[in-house]
């Protein structure tokens, strides 16, 4: 099995995978260091739950509850 997984390598060389990976046993890996800053990684569960939560968030009652925090338009 060959699989590509996004990761971030910090200044000490610690590798943090952007997603959970399960393997039957230890495997070799190749790491390519890109010449760019890492983007902020959004946790996958947050992306997956956004649509379901939007049903609750995008109601007039929610807008009214938080209206006092919005600047005058």
CA separation, residue 73 to residues 67, 68, 70 (Å) = 11, 12, 8
Residue 41 has a pLDDT of 63
Assess whether pLDDT exceeds 80 at residue 68: yes
Residue 52 has a pLDDT of 81
User: What pTM value is reported for the model?
Assistant: 0.47
Each domain of the chain, given as residue ranges in start order, spans: 7-69
> Angle CA(18)–CA(19)–CA(25) in degrees, nearest 5?
120
Assess whether pLDDT exceeds 80 at residue 73: no
Residue-wise pLDDT for 5-59, tens only, equals 888 888 899 999 988 899 999 999 999 988 888 776 666 777 778 888 888 888 8
């Amino acid at each position: 099995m060959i699989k590509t997984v996004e990761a971030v390598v910090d200044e000490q060389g610690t590798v943090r995978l952007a997603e959970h990976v399960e393997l039957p046993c230890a495997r070799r890996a190749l790491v390519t260091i890109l010449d760019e800053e890492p983007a902020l990684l959004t946790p996958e569960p947050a992306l997956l739950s956004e649509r379901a939560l939007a049903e609750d968030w995008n109601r007039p009652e929610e807008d009214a509850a938080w209206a006092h925090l919005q600047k005058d338009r």
